[in-house]
Chains A and B, each alone.
Chain A
Amino acid sequence: MTTAIEQIGRSGLHAVRASLDTLAFAFKILARMFDVRAYNSAVRMVLINQIYFTSVQILPLFLAVAVIFGAIVIGIIGQYLIHLGLFDYFGQLLMGFVVTEFAPFITVLLIALRSGSAVNAEIAVMKVNKELNTLHVFRIDEINYLFLPRILSGILSIVLLSSLFSIIVLASGLIFSSLLFDMSMNDYVTALLASAKFSDLIVMLIKCAIMGFFIVMIPIRYGMRATDELTSIPVSVLHGMVNVFIAIMIIEVVSLIVVSSISKFI
């Protein structure tokens, strides 16, 4: 019994320490993000490459997912609202659910699966190959050169792709609502505009930026934990991706609490 309690305590302490380490690392990166001297030509080149890998290469898949998911979600929401006699709330559901919750979630999931795992593996491979040692020997700061461009690209990508996802879903909603529910373009736009809240959009963008930060920072952190062994690469990717998923859930829950608190306060 005592051993079991000790074990729980040890695991708890380990989890708390790991979380504190991650937060300390996050603050270190944040501090560097606002240091203009960090952005030299080499860093800018990496940033441009990373934006291309994260935001541009994914576009065909992303656009297809946005159109398909958008059509499905709008179809299901519309059918249920008609069934319940609540079709007047169509606009509110689109803005409140699709734009502020669904779009960021799907975007974050896609980017985490594609780029988060790639960054985790890349950093772990560099660690195993002693390439991080090369940077150290040639006095190239790994935070500035490797981490900062990847994290910035994560933030920019999530914010921009999430906005693009919302626009595509709303645009496909225009087509599908007229096909499925005989809704005119005028009614659709009026319903959306009546439900649009500036504060919701701001909260969505902030949430996207925070998620973008963590879904790249956590894989970097776990990539750095790889040892000299090749076998440590899959282990670091596995742990990194599980923790990214946990972080996404935590940010979603915290953002919901914050939004509901703000709504009550207003």
Chain B
Amino acid sequence: MSNESFTLSKEDWSLHRKGQQDQERHKEKVKEAIKNNLADLISDEGIIMSDGRQIVKIPIRSLEEYRIRYNYSKNRQPGTGKGGSQVGDVIGNGQPGQGQDQSGAGDGKGVDYEEASVTLEDIEEMLFAELELPNLVPKSNENIQVTDVDFRDVRKNGLMSNIDKRRTLLEAIRHSARNGSDKMMIRPDDLRFRTWEDTIEPDSNAVILALMDTSGSMGLFEKYAARTFFFWMVRFLRTKYENVHIRYIAHHTEAKEVSEEHFFTKGESGGTICSSAYDLALRIIQQDYPAGSYNIYPVHFSDGDNLTSDNEKCIKRVEEICKLSQMFAYAEVNAYARSSTLMSAYSKMQNPLFRKFVIREKSDVYRALRAFFSAAPEEGNTA
């Protein structure tokens, strides 16, 4: 240690990245937390009812740093006034702000509630990464589309504007090192060029038939679950696939095709005859979507409270639709685990294209999405 009483220096700190590195780790943990909360997040009313562009605040538990602390809201705390403060003076409402002094690390006064702001895009990105249309097959070769170019290859010759500087330099360094010369020279042989390939994405030629039970027995929760599901389904299809047709069918004792807006907002009443919707679906398929050139995905939401005499017919129709489709999804919203007539009929079905799922609580919507839109059918809840 030198005995100089002081030194003043200015170093280059540009390589000191510790704060940033740990900040990265923190971000990673936030992402993890979002992922773990997806099931609750996607059934959050704030999102479904929103215009789709808002930021959602979610409390992320794993990121709060818990300590044994005093309960400050129950405690009297000291402050300083401008002079002549009297008992009863109001000094503020809501949360008292923290002091301007930040220099004492570890002097943690004030409670540190961490809320992460998540945009809809963040959630979608994570949610949709897990989803895909199952059994998708190329149906016709005419509509092959080139959507993008992707630089994924490096070659020795190419356009000068696409030169890969880093690789070229690396080659040059290697070259001169091999030759034992201490002078580096870039030879023509060292040049490396980035080369692209066309990304070919076949037209999915997919059509989704969204069937929803709008009968009187569909209560608030049932409708909510169904709409949440379809909300995400539609967003998922529009984000990930081009040219996916979505047709909306609402039914009670009879079915009719409705607009998207009507489908999501209007309520109906009456009894339930599911086969009516299947009939309409079959008609739509036959008219507009020949099975030879379309991937067809009917998705049906109901509370399972079907007219018992209609069940026989339903099974027949579902079998028929299955023959034309890539998958038939049936989701039953059943919060009280009652035995439903429709599900007990469907549970006997063995068709591998038929997928069913029971939604008991809000967060099951997420599981239903995963169950229907994954390559292999997952074990869903069965009644």
* Chain A complexes with chain B: no
A residues with a Cβ closer than 8 A to B are none
